[in-house]
Amino acid sequence: MIPLFFIFELLKRIGFIGLAVPLLLLVWYFIPSGNTNYNLFYIDRNKDNNIIKYDIKLKENGELNMEEPINIYWVKNTDGGKKEGLNYAQKKLAYGLKYVKKEDDEIKFQFVSYGKRTFILRKLKGKSEYNVITYLNNKTVIVNRIYIHITGGTYFVPKIAYLQLYWKDAYSDKEGIEKVIP
């Protein structure tokens, strides 16, 4: 991509300074920036309206960022939609991920707080985007959302009544919800 300052300088030198800002905005808007990150799934809770988002981290060439393939952060809807990283306790005890296996185009992981289920980050056959999948009754399902219903406890040890895993069948587009009691 051509650096924006170069375009600005060129327009300034040829006397089109009045067009510089609108043209720069158009170039910035329509030319891809190389940002290849997108949302995989999110967690919401009954406690408040804030959500934890899990975004894929790809290199500009579309390959997985193997060092940190998933970026996890809060969207604080109770604070105007402000984005904020997880704190140490949240990463290590609750919403963080433990990578079980990393291969070229596939990452297996579990939540640090729930090691009973393995999730896989990979592309499905015939698809161009990565998805987080898991298996449910011998079906491959794409994870869209996880809902956590908290009924008390403390900050470090909340009492979780149940989880709901919102999924879509990877091959039939059928959607469903699995209720998990931890």
Give me the residue spans of the domains in the chain. Answer: 1-33, 39-180
The overall average pLDDT reported for the chain is 85
> pLDDT tens, 113-166?
999 999 999 999 888 899 999 999 999 999 999 999 999 999 888 999 999 999
Confidence (pLDDT) at 62: 82
> Between 4 and 167, whose confidence is greater?
167
d(CA 148, CA 161): 8
Angle at which helices 17-30 and 4-13 pack, to 10 degrees?
160
> pLDDT tens, 62-92?
888 999 999 999 999 999 999 999 999 999 9
Q: Which helix (H) or strand (E) holds 91?
A: none
Place of tokens 């998990």: 180
Q: Which pair of structure tokens corresponds to residue 103? A: 């291969």
